[in-house]
Structure 1
C-alpha cells in the first residue's frame, strides 16, 4: 500500500503540474509498441484519480535518435534514451538536459570490446579490415575504440582532417550508423532501406530499421560476415547464444585474444552507459515520471508482473526504450554538470575527438607549470620552437597539474614517480620518459626518426639522506626531535622512501604506512612543502614576484624540491631557519651545492661539507651514494590524457629535434640554473626523452616501486586520488 500511495502522489503531482502529454520518442515500430504498452500499463495500475494524467502518455515515432533530439527541441516530443555520446551532443550542442542514467549490474558504465570471429586478427592489425560500429560518436562503438587506436598511434589522424576521414582511410569498409551526414564512406556496409524521403530512409541511421544499428546490430554485422570486427559494449555479449560463443573472441590491448567471458580484462576502455534527456522546462516532471515508472515496473516494481520496463523480448527485439540489462535508473540531481554525469575522462575524450568542433586548443599543447620560475622557462621554450605552438598554463602543484589534465584545462606535464603513480590511477598515460643515461641512441629508422629514441633500460636515480658534516650526532635511528627537510609532498626521495627506514629508535612508527604521521611523530618540526602543521614550520615561503605563503607545494616556496631541501639544510641568510637532515635525490646534489654561492643563497659550501646517512647508521662521503641511499627512484614520466598521446609525442619530438639542431640557442630544455632553481619542467639530469607511450605507467615504475606506492596510498588520505575516484561508473 505504501508503494501504491507513493506512486499515486507522484502521478497526481504530474497530472496537475504537467497539464499536457508526456511524449516518449521512439525509433522503431517495436519501440513504439513497447511504449504504447507502457502507457496502457500505467493506466491499468493507476487509481481513478490519476488515470487522466497517464492516459495522456503518448509515443512519438521518429526515424533516428537525431530526429528525436530535434523533435524534443521543437516541443514535438519530451524524452528519449540516448547513448552517452549522444547525450553529450544533446546537452552541449542542442541545449537539452540529462535527467537519468542507466545502471547495470557492475555500475553506471559499459566496457568497449572488439569482437571477431575466430581468426588471426589482433588489435594491432585492424588497418584495412571491415568494421562494424554501434553508432557514430557512440561510446563503445566509436569514441572508446578510436581513442585507444589513437593513443597507441595505430590510427593516424592529421589535425587538419576530420576524424571521420581518418577512420575511412584506416578501415577498408565500415558501417557506422549515424555517419551518413558526416562521412558517407563510413556507411558502405550498412544494410538499412534507402529512400530519398527522410522518414522512410533507414540506411546508416541510428534506428532499428538499420539492421546493423547499436551493439546488437554491430554483432549482426559481424555474424553475417559483412564485417571483420565489431566494436560493441560488453552488455551485448550476453545476447550471444551459448552454442555460438566459441565462434567469437575478444581482441585485447596487448595484442592477444580472449574468450567473450574475459571482457573485464580484455577491453578497449570504459565509459558511461545510456542516459535520458529532455528539455529544461519539463525536466522536473520528466524525472518524476521516470521515478514513478520505475517504482511500478522496474526490477523490483510492485506491478512488474503486468509490465517490465527493462524487458524487450515480448516485442521481438532487444534494448527497446532502455537496455534490457539495466538494473535500475539513477535519477540525476538538478543542475548537474555534464562532466559530473558522464565523467571527466569521458568528456575529455570526446573533446579530444572533436565532438565540439575544431578550436584553437586542437593545434596547441598546453604545458603545466607550477611556479614563476617554471613559467619563465616554459615561455622561453615556446619562443625557441616558434613553429610548434606551446601554451604555458599555471598550476599550484604537481597534484593540481594532474587534476587540470583530467579536467582538460592543460595537456601534459613531467611527473616524478610518485605523482606518475597518482596520475596513472587517475587515468592518465605515459608519452615519453626522461632518460638519465650517458648517451641517447636513436631508434631504428635513420635520419627520418632522429628524434625518436627508445631503450629497454630506463636508468633510475636514488634518494639520499644528507647532513652537514659538522653535525656529528645525527644519523638514522636518532632523528627524534630533529628538524627535517623534504623536497615536497609525495616526492619519492623526500616523502615516500625515508619512512621505510628506522628514523628513530624512540618512536616505534605506530603507523608505518602513513608517511606524514610518521614524520610528525619523529621530527620536532620540518619543511615538507604541501603539508601542514609542524612539517611547515621550517619552510620560508617566497619573495618578490614569487611571493607565496609558507609551505606552498611549488618552487615559489624557497625550500621546495631538491634545491629547496638543500637550502633548508644550509639555512637562510640569518642562519635561523634550517633543518638537521635533508631527504633529496642524488642526481644533482653536487651541482646544487656548487650553485649555492653564485645564486646568492650561501657562500663557501663545498661537497666536502656534507655527508650521506646510511640506513645502517653509517655516515659516508657524497661519492658513496651507490652504497648509501634510501632506494632507487624510477625516472620522471611525461603524462597526458590517452587521446592526446600522439599529439604530445609529436610535439616533444619536434622540440627535441629543433633544439638539438640549433646548438647556438641559449635555451636548454634540461637546464634550470639560469632561472635560479633546479629541475624545472624536467629533471636537469635528463639527457633526452625516450618513447614509452607503448608502455603502461606500472611497467615504467617497476613492480617494487609500484607496490610500495600502492601500499602507502591504500592507507594514506590523498585529495587528488579522492578527486580522481569520484567515478561515475560506480554511481548507483
Structure 2
C-alpha cells in the first residue's frame, strides 16, 4: 500500500510540475450552480489526494460561473477562464471563429460520436409531417439538435432555404413554435417554447440560453420539453434515450428517415445521422497545462481511477444534475494533438455539413454548383455546359478518377458527380447521397410530378429503371474462348471497380477458380487469373496492355489511369482494347462492358476507321452457361443486371443540387437546336462524358437511399466484395471522425 502511495506521489509530482512552475490556476467554466458545486468538489478532491509535499504550492482549481456556452467561449478567449467541454457545433465555432484549441474528446461506450434522433409521442407524427409542428432542440448549431436534423430536413427538401432568406427565417416558417436554446433574440418564434428565467440584466437572463438554467436546454432539456407536452417533436442525441424508462419506452418513439417509426432502443438504425460528441477546449497558450490537468484528473477520478471513491469525474447525481462538467455517459477523455486540424477532429462530413449550414457566418451559395470531372475531355464538355446555362452558374473542377471525385466532394472541394453503380456504392459508404439517376432506353415515360426538367418517371415507382446488363464480348473467330476458360487469357475492362468488368465479373471468376483457390481480395484474384490486360486504375499485369494517349507520350501517369486520358478507358475503351490496332495486333481475348452502348460503339469505331475490319457480326457474347450468342442477344446472355448510374452529392446540398439540375435541364430544353447536348459526347472521339450518351433524362432520386437505388442484390454483392478487398477510397472514408469509432 505504501509503495502504491509512493508511486502515486511521484506521478502527481511529475505531472503537476508544469502547473506549479507556471503558478497558473486551472479555471473551469461552469454553466449552473450545480456545475459550480461539482467543480468545487473537484477542487477539494484534488487537495485531499495531493501529497502534503506539494499542497502549499499547488494552485487550486478555480470555478468560473458563466450563463451560456457562448459566454464560456468568450471568457476562455479573453483569458478569464481556461477550459470547458462543449457540443461539437460549439467546438467548431470556438476553433474557427475564436482561435481556441481542442484538448480532448469525450469517449462513451459507443465511441466519440452520437446519433441524432427525432422523438415524438407514439402514433402522433412521422418525419415527413413536421411542418407547422412545435419543436424542441438541444441547442442552436448543436450536433443533434440543429446541425444534423436541419441538414436532413434540407436534404429532403422539407425545408426550403434560398439566398433570399436566412436559415433561421426558413426554420421559423417551417415550425409553428420552437425552443432552440442559443438561437438568439432575433428569432423570437424559435425561442417561444423556452422556459428559462427572463431578465433585462444579461447575467440573470437564461431564457432560450444554452445553459443548465434553461430547463429545455441540451438533449435532456429537449426531451423534457417533449415530455411536458410543450413540443410535438424533440431533436436530441441517442445518449439521452439510451436508458429511457419503461414508461418513456411505451409513450414515445423515434421518427425514421423513411417515414416509419421505431422504438427508442432502435436509435442505431432509426436516426437522422451521426456526428461527433463533446470535446474539451482551451486556449493554445494553455493547451499543455490543460492536457496535463485532464490526464491527472482522469487518472485519479475517471473510470477505475486511483481516487474514484473520493470523487467521480463522470457522475453528476450527487449534485442533483445531469452531465455536469462532462457527460455522465463518458468513459474516458481522449487527448487530441494540438496541431490536429479541426476536420481531423470532427470529421470531413461534419465539417462540410457545418460549412453548408453557414457556421462561419455565410449561408449556402445556391447559385453555384461545382461539378467534378475526371478527364480533360470531361472538363471540356463541362465548360461547354456551363457556357450554355449562364443564368445558372456551373463551375467545373478536375479530379483524375471517380474515386478522386468522391474524395473532392468529401473535402468540400467539389459538389456533384455522376458515378457508375459500383462507385455509387462507394460514395454511399462514404456518406454521399443520390440526387438523380440516369434513365436510358428511349423516350422518358412521364407521369404527374417533377423530374429533372420534366415530370417524374413512372418507372421509378412501378417497374424500376430499365436494366443495363454486364456482358462479356469476344471475337467470333476465337472459337476456343468461353466464360469458363478465361484463366490465363488477355482481358479488357472499362476500369477498376467497374460494375461489368470488376464487380459482377467476380462471381464468375471465383466460380471458375473453385473454393480451394479463392482469395478474399478480388484484385489479387484478377492479377493471378488473367495473363495480362487493361483495367485502368489497376496495377501489375492488368496495366500491361493499357496504352495511355499518343499526345501524352512519355507521361507514364496517363497510362492505365482511370479516366479518358487512357485510350482503353470505359466501355468504348475496353472494346478498342479487344479489337487491337489497325496493324492487326490483337491485344485482348475478352472485353467486359455494359450492353447499352455495345452496338453503337462497334459502329462508331467502324465509321471512325478504328475497327473497319470488324462489324457487329464479327463479335459474340459469352454466356454464363458456357455457350455463346450474338451481340444483339444481351437480354438472354449476360453476366447480370447493373443499376443505373447516379448523381451523388453531400446530404445537405441534395435539394440545391437537384434544383440546379432542374434549372439546367430547363434552360437546355429551350435550346433544342443547340450544338451542345448534355447527353452526347463529341470530344476527341470519346463516349459517355459526364453522363452516358444513351441517357434520355435524369430521374429525381433524393427520396431514395443509395442502397435502395442500387437494389439489394447488387448492394449485397458490393458489400461482400469490399469487405475483403482493399480499396484506398474506403480507407480514406474510414478515417473520417465518427466512422473510425463505429468500426
Tell me the TM-score normalized by structure 1.
Answer: 0.96
Output one character per residue of 1:416-475: Cα deviation in whole Å (capped at 9) or x when no partner: 111111111111111111112322133414899735545322112111111122333322
Give the alignment partner of residue 374 of structure 1, picking from 374, 378, 385: 378
1:307 paired to 2:287:
no
Q: How does 1:116-515 map to 2 (within 5 A)?
A: 116-238=120-242, 240-358=244-362, 362-445=366-449, 450-453=454-457, 455-456=460-461, 457-501=464-508, 510-511=517-518, 513-515=520-522
Q: C-alpha displacement at 1:221, in angstroms?
A: 1.3
Give the corresponding residue for 1:543. Answer: 550
Of stretches 156-165 and 368-377 in structure 1, the one that deviates more from structure 2 is 156-165
Deviations 1:587-624 (A, max 9, x none): 11111112224445343432122121222222222112
Residue of structure 2 equivalent to 1:566: 575
Cα distance in 2 for partners of 1:46, 1:718 equals 51
Distance 1:6 1:668 in 2: 76
CA distance in 2, matches of 1:310, 1:37: 13
Gaps of 5+ in 2: none
Q: Does 1:586 align with 2:595?
A: yes
Contact (CA 8 Å) 1:485, 1:581: kept in 2 or not? Answer: yes
Q: Choose the corresponding residue for 1:665, options 653, 659, 674.
A: 674
Match of 2:525 in 1: 518
Further displaced range: 194-203 or 163-172 = 194-203
Whether contact under 8 Å (1:174, 1:189) holds in the other structure is yes
Partner of 2:716: 707
Instruction: Say which of 521, 526, 530 aligns to 2:537.
Output: 530
Structure 1 residue 17: Cα displacement: 4.7
State whether residues 499 and 512 of structure 1, in contact with CA within 8 Å, keep that contact through their aligned partners in structure 2: no
SS in 2 for 1:93: helix
CA RMSD after TM alignment: 2.2
Go from structure 1 to structure 2 and tell me whether the alpha carbon gap of 1:54 and 1:325 turns closer, same or farther (over 3 Å shift). farther
Does the CA contact (< 8 Å) of 1:15 and 1:50 recur in 2?
Answer: no
Deviation at 1:329, TM superposition (A): 0.9
User: Within the alignment, does 1:656 sit opposite 2:665 as a pair?
Assistant: yes
Report if aligned partners of 2:439, 2:697 keep a CA contact under 8 Å in 1. yes
Distance 1:507 1:30, change over 3 A: closer
User: For 1:474 and 1:302, how far apart are their aligned partners in 2?
Assistant: 72
Structure 1 CA distance for aligned equivalents of residues 214 and 74 of structure 2? 20
Offset at residue 236 of structure 1 (A): 1.1
Q: Distance in 1 between matches of 2:647 and 2:303?
A: 46
> What's the CA shift for 1:399?
0.9
Provide the rounded CA distance (Å) in 1 between the counterparts of 2:505 and 2:259. Answer: 40
Give the whole-Å Cα distance in 1 for the aligned partners of 2:548 and 2:720: 32
Asked whether the 8 Å contact 1:381–1:667 carries over to 2, the reply is: yes
Instruction: Give secondary structure in 2 for the equivalent of 1:612.
Output: strand
Unaligned runs of 5+ in 1: none
Cα distance change, pair 5–484 in 1 and its aligned pair in 2 (3 A): farther
8 Å contact from structure 2 (residues 358, 364) kept in 1: no
For the structure 1 residues 116 and 499, does the alpha-carbon distance in structure 2 shift closer, same or farther, using more than 3 Å as the test? closer
SS at 2:517 equivalent:
coil
Classify the secondary structure of the residue corresponding to 2:558.
Answer: coil
Q: Which SS does the other structure have where 1:174 is aligned?
A: strand
Contact 2:452 2:665 in 1 (8 A): no
Query: Which of 97, 102, 105 is equivalent to 1:101?
Result: 105
For the 8 Å contact 2:436–2:658, the answer to whether it is kept is: yes
The 8 Å contact of residues 25 and 60 in structure 1, kept in 2 or not, is answered as yes
Note if contact 2:366-2:656 (Cα within 8 Å) is conserved in structure 1: no
Question: CA, structure 1 residues 298+476, in 2 after alignment: closer, same or farther (shift >3 Å)?
Answer: same
How many corresponding residue pairs?
732
Cα–Cα, structure 1 residues 648 and 447, in superposed 2: closer, same or farther, change >3 Å? Answer: closer
Alignment CA distance shift 1:235-1:376 (3 Å): same
Contact 2:242 2:264 in 1 (8 A): no
CA distance in 2, matches of 1:442, 1:477: 43
Q: How far apart, CA to CA, are the structure 2 residues paired with 1:10 and 1:714?
A: 46
1:636 aligns with 2:645: yes
- Relative to structure 1, the CA distance from residue 553 to residue 445 in structure 2 (aligned partners, 3 Å threshold; closer, same or farther) is closer
Q: Secondary structure at the match of 1:230?
A: strand
Structural mapping, 1:2-81, within 5 Å: 4-5=8-9, 7-52=11-56, 54-81=58-85
